[in-house]
Chains A and B, each alone.
Chain A
Amino acid sequence: MTELDANSAAGPLTLLFGRDVTLAVGICAMCGTTGPLGETVMYGPAPGTVLRCPQCSNVLMTIVEAPDRLLATMPGLRLLSVPTGGTS
């Protein structure tokens, strides 16, 4: 598996969420590190995309593209905060 960063996971992430989420901020459930998904470490591309915490390597999210669906897990995210452009 090649180690990349999550900016190169933007394709599968956009496919899953319907919008760009590389700027969305996640909190690692293992160590509490907080940061944008674009700074997480990605392993891939085959057989799927794995996003890991840059500090503790906890698996935050996995995405597998099957021919007719996406199979996603988010085992290591305590929170994912996705900006919507609205006013707070």
Chain B
Amino acid sequence: MAGTAVFQRLTWLPATVADVVTETPRARTLLLAVPGWPGHRAGQHVDVRLTAPDGYQASRAYSLASAPGEGPALTVVRVEDGEVSPYLVDVASPGDRLEVRGPVGGYFVWEPAPPYRPVLLVGGGSGVVPLRAMLRHRARLGDTTPMRLLYSVRDPASVIYRDELVRQADLVTFHYTRTAPPDAPHAPGRIDRATLERTSRPAAEEPIAYVCGPTGFVEHVAALLLDLGYPAPAIRTERFG
């Protein structure tokens, strides 16, 4: 358990961009080669540090997109006035170097363990990134813990990991907020109580929820889950922006 580890050394490690996958016009996944990478758990973070030629440094925390056992990967969505994300999305290429520190975090983490409570993953926009690591982890292990992903996304063009998620159609529900495809079963809009209730296992099965996305989204979903009977400790949240 990372939470009970004795002293954890945390230093900046040199990383090289090994490959780049374009996910959407605004998002890319960077696969990193990090000698000495200690491995990570699904849902953990890494701090990324960039150094400019004049020595100026900027660092940001990113969720790891890859499953435990895979190399570290980041999926970054461009923040238009951002300091770090435009470089990572538009400029970084295989062979480029940066630094990483991690993995860190033991709270927003999933791994299969007794009593194997059913898992509801709810992601808004790029909040799907750590949830994708959890889905991948489950699939790679062949684990049978009940798990569903409800992915709230602006429109079909903004879907990250489209092919991978579509292949798991029995586990993944897309919920469009602005523009839905013609075959979508719902009109575009915010996730509502009925949608969550349909996607979640009944409260009697003691499901646990991981909710990640912008602050307003997370608070909206967490309030609905409380209303559905999830006790507060069964709702783990991660907010950004």
Query: Do the beta carbons of B7 and A5 come within 8 Å of each other?
Result: no
Residues B5 and A20 in contact, CB atoms below 8 Å apart: yes
A residues adjacent to B (C-beta < 8 A): 2-11, 13-15, 18-20, 22-23, 36-39, 41, 45-46, 83-85
B102 lies within 8 A of A11 (CB):
yes
Cβ of A38 and Cβ of B108 under 8 Å apart? Answer: yes
Q: Which residues of B contact A10 (CB under 8 A)?
A: 44-45, 61, 102, 104-107
A17 CB, min distance to chain B CBs, angstroms: 9
Q: How long is the Cα–Cα vector from A41 to B104 in the complex, in angstroms?
A: 17
Given the known interface contacts A20-B2, A84-B4, A85-B4, the answer about A11 and B61 at a Cβ–Cβ threshold of 8 Å is yes
Interface residues of B (CB under 8 A from A): 1-8, 10, 44-45, 47, 58-61, 101-102, 104-108, 215, 236-241
A22: which B residues are within 8 A, CB to CB? 105-108
Known: A4-B239, A11-B47. 19 other contacts (CB 8 A): A3-B239, A4-B240, A7-B45, A8-B61, A10-B45, A13-B104, A14-B104, A15-B10, A18-B7, A20-B2, A20-B8, A20-B107, A22-B107, A38-B105, A38-B238, A41-B215, A41-B239, A45-B60, A85-B4
Measured between C-beta atoms, what is the minimum distance from A10 to chain B in Å?
4
Q: List 5 A-B contacts (CB under 8 A).
A: A10-B44, A13-B104, A15-B10, A20-B106, A38-B236
Contact of B7 among A8, A19, A45 (CB under 8 A): A19
Q: Which residue of A lies closest to B82 (CB)?
A: A2
Chain B residues lying within 8 Å of A6, measured Cβ to Cβ, are 107
Q: A39 — which chain B residues lie within 8 A by C-beta?
A: 107, 237
Closest CB pairs A-B (n = 4): A85-B4, A38-B107, A22-B107, A10-B104
Nearest-Cβ distance from residue A31 to partner chain B, whole angstroms:
16
Q: Distance in Å from the Cβ of B220 to the closest Cβ of chain A? A: 15
A11-B45 in contact given A20-B106, A39-B237 (Cβ < 8 Å): yes
Residues of B within 8 A of A23 (CB): 3, 106-107
B residues within 8 A CB of A9? Answer: 61
* Smallest CB gap from B214: residue in A: A3
Please determine whether A19 and B3 come into contact, CB atoms closer than 8 angstroms.
yes
B47 touches A7 (CB 8 A): no
Question: Could you say which residues of chain B place their CB within 8 Å of the CB of A14?
Answer: 8, 10, 104
CA distance A11 to B240 in the complex (A): 16
Say whether A3 contacts B215, CB under 8 Å.
Answer: yes
Chain A residue, CB-CB nearest to B5: A19
